[in-house]
Amino acid sequence: MGKDVGTWTWFHKLASPPHFYRIAGRMIPWFAVPAAILIVASTYGGLVMAPADYQQKDAFRIIYVHVPAAWLSLMCYMTMASAAAVGLIWRIKLAHALAAASAPIGASFTLVTLVAGSLWGKPMWGTWWTWDARLTSELILLFLYLGYMALRSAFDDLTRADRASAVLALVGVVNVPIIHFSVVWWNSLHQGSTVLRKGGPAMPAEMLWPLLVGALGYTFLYAALACIRVRGEVLIRERNASWLKELEAA
């Protein structure tokens, strides 16, 4: 990997812990500020500006939390698994750090999705919880996150925790579609996808834009949280490195 210097220099420079630590630190406000603005805008647009749904009335407004969180719960898993694959194949510590940092964030988004969906389900479906396909697969996704985190915490040695949990994340990626498909076939009550569907979103613009802005805001939020957490992971991994001692002294 290191032989092809020309192509890989930038990559290795970015992947070097001290460099990344500095860059990530500088990036946090660039992610956090847009995240705050976008989420506030989406909340205002969703709660105040958008009209109520003709059937669900105001209860539908919970989608402005529920749907972005659901997207992010999947996106976090994909990021985690891709980072794990990179870390496993090229033995890049920073990729493992990103995977480790993404898991709790993704688990939180999954939990938010489930709780928000449950709050919506009681008035609309008439039940807090039902064994519907999407609900069940989201729940299993939460279990996968928890399993990943449990496996990490079972190792004393970080290198082994990194590599073992990376294998698990990849096994999970193969299984996520299978699990999703099997529960869909098993029992489906949840509505289809609103935005990503054949023939364009089934939603008027004034309802749709706060949703999309919210999704973007949540993505920025994830990026900001990931930066903070990866910096933490880098500190743990590099606690004996000389650049950290210099940083402390300065």
Partner 1 sequence: MTTLTTSLPRAAWLVLERDLRLAFRRWEQVTHPVMFFLMVATLFPLALSPEPALLRTIAPGVVWVGALLSALLALESLFRADLEDGTLEQLTLSGQPLAWLLLAKTLAHWLLSGLPLVVAAPLIAAGLAAPGEAVGTLMLSLALGTGVLSFIGSVGAALTLGSRRGSVLLSLLVLPLAMPVLIFGARATDQAMRGEVADGPLWLLAAMLILSATLSPLATAAAVRVSLE
Partner 2 sequence: MAETDSAALEARDLHLWRGSKHVLRGLSFTASAGHLLHVRGPNGCGKTSLLRTLAGFLWPEEGALYWEGRPVTEDRDGYAAALAYLGHENAMKADLSPLENLRYATDVRHPTERRTIESVLERLGVGPQRDLPFRALSAGQRRRVAMARVLLARARLWLLDEPFTNLDVAGVRDLSAVVADHARQGGIAILTAHSELDLPGSELRRLELE
Partner 3 sequence: MTPRRKRLYTVLGILGGVGLATLVAVKAFDNNLSYFYDPSQVATGKAPGDKSFRIGGMVTQGSLKRTPGSLEVSFTLTDFANTVPVSYTGLLPDLFREGQGIIAHGRLQGGVFVADEVLAKHDEKYTPPEVAKSMKKMQPPAGDKT
Residue 208 in contact with residue 195, Cβ under 8 Å? yes
Task: Return the residue of 3, 185, 198, 239 that touches partner 3, per CB under 8 A.
Answer: 185
Q: Is 172 an interacting residue with respect to partner 1 (CB under 8 A)?
A: yes
CB 98 within 8 A of CB 83: yes
Q: Taking contact as CB under 8 A, which single stretch among the options 70-78, 116-124, 152-160, 184-192 is the one that binds partner 2?
A: 152-160
Kindly tell me which residue out of 32, 41, 111, 168 binds partner 1, with binding defined by CB under 8 A.
168
- In terms of CB distance, is 66 or 93 closer to partner 3? 66
Neighbouring C-beta atoms of residue 65, cutoff 10 Å: 22
Residue 239 interacts with, from partner 1, partner 3, partner 2, none (CB under 5-8 Å by kind): partner 2
57 contributes a contact to partner 2 by CB under 8 A: no
Q: Which of 18, 34, 104, 147 binds partner 1 (CB under 8 A)?
A: 147
Question: Residues 38, 69, 95, 207: which binds partner 3 (CB under 8 A)?
Answer: 207
Q: Is the CB of 73 or the CB of 219 nearer to partner 1?
A: 73
Q: Is residue 76 within 8 Å of residue 173, measured between CB atoms?
A: no
d(CA 65, CA 71): 10
**What residues numbered 64-103 form the site for partner 2, per CB under 8 A?**
91
Instruction: Indicate whether 122 belongs to the interface with partner 2 (CB under 8 A).
Output: no
Q: Angle 158-186/63-90 helices, nearest 10 degrees?
A: 130
Contact 206, 49 (CB under 8 A): yes
149, 158 Cβ separation under 8 angstroms: no
Closer of 172 and 214 to partner 1 (Cβ): 172
- Cα of first residue to Cα of last residue in the chain, in angstroms, is 34
Question: Among 174, 196, 205, 250, which residue sits at the site for partner 1 (rule: CB under 8 A)?
Answer: 174
In whole angstroms, give the CA distance from residue 164 to residue 40.
39
Beta carbons of 167 and 88 less than 8 angstroms apart = yes
Residues that bind partner 3 (CB under 8 A): 51-56, 60, 63, 123-127, 130, 185-189, 191-194, 197, 202-204, 206-207
Residues that bind partner 2 (CB under 8 A): 91, 156-159, 239-240
